[in-house]
Structure 1
């Protein structure tokens, strides 16, 4: 087996083994899930080849949304009410990812207090959370929980759970936007270390995210215009954070990507809400 891997390279990217290996790398990168090493992986704990695995980020997001969707369904089945069910679902996602994206949003919000590019980057690197970051986190959690709770009160359980899955896939795809369109803001950061995805790979990921949203939304009976708004607003959020980063630090960091994901998730849920009647 080892000899075969040496002959074919790290993983044959056109094979199903390559797809599974890249998906496993995505899940390890984006979450705290105990993803087991696959038999054909040479070094499962090495730094991921991010430019390559980008193509499967929407699928990884979909997988990450399964537990929060299941928690939401279980809480509603126990008749815990929309708000508590939504809060438990968001908590499940936060635990699953180790607050990966939330940390990025907080650091990005705190960096607004910096007067210069260098100071903003230094603030992003600081492990402490300031007033902007703390306030931003409160607002982000309130908006995510509030939007999901209101959605639960307007659609059936299947529709709400599907919205969680779609938002998870779309928002992580939107989080790639600054990583693709902007250069790394510093040469010693994580975004520089993992490599910059190509635009071609990004558009493939975006197409996959769109297919996931349309197929799941249609199967669950969600309003087609609502699905369209989820796509449009999540993409617009990724673009908005990209423009902000370009003006703010003249580049991108992993924190900017995390912030884009959080904003895109909120935008996607609100987009669906705008067309769903009470």
Structure 2
């Protein structure tokens, strides 16, 4: 953790480069192709900027919700607009990971078979059910927040916080396969994981009531840790699909916690 005290770790050009790399990976914005990680040692990993990219995605989704409210659409239609924008911006990257993990973990027998199913582009019944349940949880939670400001805060907090724990999963878990997206992006260090989690937590405390923020952070951490442990047991570690599923489950958990906190 000494790297946290290193000037190289905090260099502005390093942060800008990591932010661009993270945005290229996590979104479909026209920012150029994802570049491979350099072979020489570097001071940081783009994963520390994942929650910052999440904040941007959440802000765009919040804008869609606000436009829907301005057009006097019902709350559920506003929630659907927000979900649609986030899916378009990310190219359904995380939703695809969730479906693949559900199909692999639910329908496969043995590590190699599970990994093969996760790599198959076709979607099965487990994947469909997982997507339906998580999308319903996200949309239903947002629809319950009729106030546009509350919905915007919830969206930004959920997208930021759900990506804040990904660096920790990447750093703590071994890779389940030697190729694929997770292997290509490399593994972050402990300092990257601490910063990413801190950014996600800070966003929650700035945007939500203190008690709700605490519950949201705990809920996100529990579901992502649980998925990480399940991935370790089922396939021996981490893949890009598992990280996508962790983001989706974390986002749903945060929105449900906010929904519960807003209940009368």
Instruction: State TM-score, norm by structure 2.
Output: 0.90
Q: Contact 2:212 / 2:257 at 8 angstroms: preserved in 1?
A: yes
Q: 5 Å matches for 1:35-74?
A: 35=31, 45-48=34-37, 52-74=45-67
For structure 1, the 5+ residue unaligned runs are 1-11, 37-43
Q: Which stretch of the first structure deviates more once superposed, 177-186 or 159-168?
A: 177-186
Is 1:236 paired with 2:232?
Answer: no
Greater Rg by CA: 1
Cα shift readout 1:111-156 (whole Å, capped 9, x = no counterpart) = 0211111100000111111111112111121111111111x23xx2
Cα shift readout 1:42-67 (whole Å, capped 9, x = no counterpart) = xx641256961121111111011111
Is 1:25 paired with 2:21?
Answer: yes
Alpha-carbon distance between aligned partners in 2 of 1:176 and 1:113, rounded to the nearest angstrom:
28
Match 2:80 to one of 53, 71, 87: 87
Q: 5 Å matches for 1:1-278?
A: 14-35=10-31, 45-48=34-37, 52-111=45-104, 112-150=106-144, 152-153=145-146, 156-215=147-206, 217=207, 222-278=208-264
Aligned to 1:3: none
Q: Which stretch of the first structure deviates more once superposed, 104-113 or 205-214?
A: 205-214
Aligned to 2:5: none
Alpha-carbon distance between aligned partners in 2 of 1:262 and 1:194, rounded to the nearest angstrom:
20
Q: Which stretch of the first structure deviates more once superposed, 15-24 or 178-187?
A: 15-24
Alpha-carbon distance between aligned partners in 1 of 2:100 and 2:166, rounded to the nearest angstrom:
15
Cα shift readout 1:96-118 (whole Å, capped 9, x = no counterpart) = 00000000000000002111111
Alpha-carbon shift at residue 207 of structure 1 (Å): 1.0
Alpha-carbon shift at residue 189 of structure 1 (Å): 2.0
Aligned residues: 252
Question: Secondary structure of 1:176's match?
Answer: helix
Q: Which stretch of the first structure deviates more once superposed, 14-23 or 179-188?
A: 14-23
For structure 2, the 5+ residue unaligned runs are 1-7
Q: Which stretch of the first structure deviates more once superposed, 256-265 or 60-69?
A: 60-69
Question: Secondary structure of 2:79's match?
Answer: helix
After TM superposition, where is structure 1 displaced by more than 4 Å over at least 4 residues in a row?
A: 48-51
Alpha-carbon shift at residue 199 of structure 1 (Å): 2.3
